[in-house]
Amino acid sequence: MLACKPFVPKTSTITSEYTITSNILGFGITGKVVQCIHKETGVQYALKILEDNQKSRREAEIHWRVSDCPHIVKVVDIFENTNQHTKKNYLLMVMEYMKGGELFSKIKENENFTESEAAKIVYQISSAIAYLHERNIAHRDLKPENLLYTSNDHNAVLKLTDFGFAKEVVAKKSLQTPCYTPYYVPPEILNFERYDKSCDIWSLGIITYILLSGCPPFFSQNGQPISPGMKSKIRAGKYDFPDAQWKCVSKSAKDLIRSLLLTEPDRRPTIREVMSNHWVAQHNAVPNTPLGTNMFFTTKAWDQFREIFRESLQTKRKEHPNVPTLMTLDASKNPFIY
């Protein structure tokens, strides 16, 4: 398979094989993503532009190695080129073009989103995590913005992308660098403790909670990306299941979330245990109970909630000054950010 090939970026000029367009598809932690077209076949791809440094090479190599997983965005080509104007070196990652867009954007369009569909999504995300964890890789930045659909079809496949924070976990050695996105950060990272692959399990719990209710379990305050009050609740694992959003959700789903959001990393299930959980493994048998998730996604509160992530991403990019910055977060009246 492609990802089994050695990581040897091409030194030929990328424009000899691809036409690079000005269509910006998105921004990652370490670089922007634009559309490109293969000259010979006319196939559209996504091109991630990274400054060539040690961190970027780690990201590119890890993504290259795992892109044969059915639930991870495939890397097709990698080039190392020098910009003739700036004389700076870049890594250029050509990836499959995910036409279906982000996870939550697709749910927003689904007026009849059900618990069964949520369970299928959790299964697909878990499949990607399992592939990484079996290779002792922690993604460390699981969030809906990094989960993309292959198309707009009903049976589109959900895939994980953006390995800017991903890192190999050496046996008997834990991770130390505090990498996180607000709302998905586990307590051990906030406490500057050593952590391991279980940080991905916590983030999966947060995503599952939002999928089933439309709201995050931990809220920020005063429009801040992550407030002191929010940090305290995360550290204490203090959240609940309000009846307004949760009265129709199954006990099995709630029990799964409780296990994923345990504050002690050692008590959380492994990803294989998550995959064996009845609600996840038998996702096709989960009731088609209608959820109110997309009701929140269509409100102004959701737009302001998304702005929190843009503010967080802008903060992360301070280490990468050549990546375009995003607008700041305005004063928020979001009822979920108080």
Alpha-carbon separation of residue 126 from 67, 103, 157, 160 (angstroms): 15, 14, 13, 10
pLDDT of residue 299: 60
The annotation places the binding site at: 48
Q: Does domain 7-96 have CATH number 3.90.580.10?
A: no
Please pick, among 77, 141, 162, 200, the residue that the annotation labels catalytic.
141
Q: Is 162 a catalytic residue?
A: no
The annotation places the binding site for ATP at: 48
For 214-273, how does the pLDDT look when each residue is reduced to its tens digit (9 = 90+)? 888 887 666 555 666 667 777 778 889 999 899 999 999 999 999 999 988 999 999 999
pLDDT of residue 293: 81
**Is residue 165 within 8 Å of residue 29, measured between CB atoms?**
yes
> Which band of pLDDT confidence, cut at 50, 70 and 90, is reported for residue 20?
very high
Q: Where are the domains of the chain?
A: 7-96, 101-319
Q: Residue by residue, what is the 3-state secondary structure of the chain?
A: CHHHCCCCCECCCHHHCEEEEEEEEEECCCCEEEEEEECCCCCEEEEEEEECCHHHHHHHHHHHHHCCCCCECCEEEEEEEECCCCCCEEEEEEEECCCCEEHHHHHHCCCCCEHHHHHHHHHHHHHHHHHHHCCCEECCCCCHHHEEECCCCCCCCEEECCCCCCEECCCCCCECCCCCCCCCCCHHHHCCCCECCHHHHHHHHHHHHHHHHCCCCCCCCCCCCCCHHHHHHHHHCCCCCCHHHHCCCCHHHHHHHHHHCCCCHHHCCCHHHHHHCHHHHCHHHCCCCECCHHHHHCCHHHHHHHHHHHHHHHHHHHHCCCCCCCCCCCCCCCCCCC
Domains 7-96 and 101-319 agree in fold: no
For 156-197, how does the pLDDT look when each residue is reduced to its tens digit (9 = 90+)? 999 999 999 898 987 544 444 444 455 556 665 554 445 578
The amino acid at 86: T
Topology of the domain comprising 101-319? Transferase(Phosphotransferase); domain 1 (1.10.510)
Of 67-71, 142-146, 263-267, give the range with the top mean pLDDT: 67-71
